[in-house]
Amino acid sequence: MMNMSTYIIFTRTAWNEAPRLRHQVTRLLLEAGHSVYFFDTPRHILSQPKALDRVDGLAPSFVQNRFLIHHQLRVVPPLHAMNTWFVRRQIIKFLKTNLLEEVTVINFNYDNYFLRELFPKSKIVTIINDDFEAQSRLPFSAHITWALQRTCRMSDVVFAVSVPLVRRLSLWSASKLFLPWSSMPYTPPQADTSARTRLLFWGFLDPRLDLNMLNRIAEDLARRGPQWKLMMVGPTQGRGRDTVERSMARHLNVQILGRYDLAELPLDTILAGVIPYLTPSSMDAVTIPNKAMQLLARGLPLLISGMPAFIDAPFVRRLDAENSISVVIDSCIVDFSTLQPSIVEFLAANTPESRLSQLGI
| Contacts of residue 329, Cβ cutoff 8 Å, sequence gap at least 6 | 199, 220, 221, 224, 271, 272, 303
- Per-residue confidence in pLDDT tens, the chain, 361 aa: 356 799 999 988 778 776 789 999 999 999 999 999 999 876 655 555 555 444 456 778 888 878 878 887 888 888 989 989 999 999 999 999 988 888 999 999 999 999 999 999 999 999 998 888 877 777 778 889 999 999 999 999 999 999 989 999 999 999 999 999 988 899 999 888 999 999 999 998 888 899 999 999 999 999 999 999 999 999 876 677 888 899 999 999 999 999 899 999 999 999 999 999 887 655 677 899 889 999 999 999 999 998 888 999 999 999 987 778 999 999 999 999 999 999 999 999 999 999 999 998 8
Q: Cα–Cα distance between 56 and 227 in angstroms, integer?
A: 36
Buried b (16+ CB within 10 A) or exposed e, 56-77: eeeebeebbbbbebebeebbee
- Which CATH number characterizes residue 270's domain? 3.40.50.2000
Task: Answer yes or no: do 87 and 211 share one domain.
Answer: no
313: in domain:
yes
From 115, 145, 178, the end of a domain falls on 178
299: in domain:
yes
Residue 41 is predicted with a pLDDT of 74
Task: Answer yes or no: do 248 and 320 share one domain.
Answer: yes
From 178, 208, 229, the end of a domain falls on 178
Residue 1 is predicted with a pLDDT of 39
Task: Answer yes or no: do 218 and 323 share one domain.
Answer: yes
- Report field, pTM of the whole predicted structure over 0.75: yes
355: in domain:
no
Task: Answer yes or no: do 117 and 223 share one domain.
Answer: no
97: in domain:
yes
Task: Answer yes or no: do 153 and 211 share one domain.
Answer: no
Residue (of 180, 159, 154) closest to 170 by Cα position: 159
Q: Cα–Cα distance between 277 and 307 in angstroms, integer?
A: 7
Task: Answer yes or no: do 240 and 291 share one domain.
Answer: yes
Q: How far is CA 229 from the centre of its chain?
A: 26
Task: Answer yes or no: do 197 and 335 share one domain.
Answer: yes
Task: Answer yes or no: do 199 and 335 share one domain.
Answer: yes
Residue 139 is predicted with a pLDDT of 75
339: in domain:
yes
Run of H or E residues at 303 = strand 302-305
Which DSSP string corresponds to 207-249?
Answer: TTB-HHHHHHHHHHHHHH-TT-EEEEE--BSTTHHHHHHHHHT
Task: Answer yes or no: do 168 and 276 share one domain.
Answer: no
Task: Answer yes or no: do 174 and 197 share one domain.
Answer: no
Task: Answer yes or no: do 172 and 222 share one domain.
Answer: no
160: in domain:
yes
Domain count, the chain: 2
Task: Answer yes or no: do 284 and 242 share one domain.
Answer: yes
DSSP 361: -
150: in domain:
yes
| Contacts of residue 244, Cβ cutoff 8 Å, sequence gap at least 6 | 205, 209, 211, 214, 232, 256
114: in domain:
yes
What domain range includes position 84? 6-178
- Under 8 Å between Cβ of 203 and 236: no
From 145, 178, 211, the end of a domain falls on 178
